[in-house]
Amino acid sequence: MFRFKCASCGDFHSGIPDIGWSYPVFYLDVPEAEREERCQLTSDSCVIDDKWFFIRGCLEIPVIGTEEVFAWGAWVSLGEADFDRFVELYDIDSRAEEGSFLGWFSSNIELYPKTTELKARAHLRDGGLRPFIELEPTDHPLALEQREGITIDRLREIYRFFKISVLPEDGTQELLQSLSA
Ligand SMILES: [Zn+2]
């Protein structure tokens, strides 16, 4: 679909880059000097003050007219028992049948009206994939986009908002121009 410079390895890949956060937004509420003491943050989970529990998942959005999805790498809060269960199942390859956990969306995507109060369900997936986040079917624009999908133009708009540059997949010319710019 697009060519883009990968934020993790620096190479160019083709596809649809996702946009994500390596912590739930509430992590930022903890003063930096206290984070080590109060937060346990991994690539997939976060506990704040032994009291607030979060996991990372993928809020996937179909891209209309394609077979592909765009994903927000976002966080969901869970109750302690569900979080413990998530941790127990973390290394188990086949866990989708264990079901899903209800929580609150815990990333604030500034492109939308407040997203941190959305009810969300995190569905476990097999094969080490991060949970699939399903938003409660409200009329919040993010929930609508998840249900109805987004156009490629809307996707470009999202990338522009986050200053992520994407090039047409077959756009060698544009690629060369952007590299020399
Ligand atoms: Zn890469």
Mean pLDDT of the chain: 92
Output the CA 11–ligand 1 centroid distance in Å.
6
Name the H helices within 7-135: 35-38, 80-89
What is the whole-number distance in angstroms between the Cα of residue 71 and the centre of ligand 1? 16
Tens digit of each residue's pLDDT (9 = 90 or more) over 74-86: 999 999 999 999 9
Ligand 1 centroid to residue 57 C-alpha, Å: 19
pTM: 0.90
Q: Is the confidence at residue 67, as pLDDT, over 70?
A: yes
Angstrom distance (rounded) from CA 61 to CA 64? 9
110-164: pLDDT as tens digits: 999 999 989 999 999 999 999 999 999 999 999 999 999 999 999 999 999 998 8
Residue-wise pLDDT for 11-45, tens only, equals 888 889 999 999 999 999 999 999 999 999 999 99
Ordered by start, the domain boundaries in the chain are 1-17+164-181, 19-163
Measured in Å, residue 14 CA sits from the centre of ligand 1 at 10
Helix count (H) and strand count (E) of the chain?
Answer: 5, 11
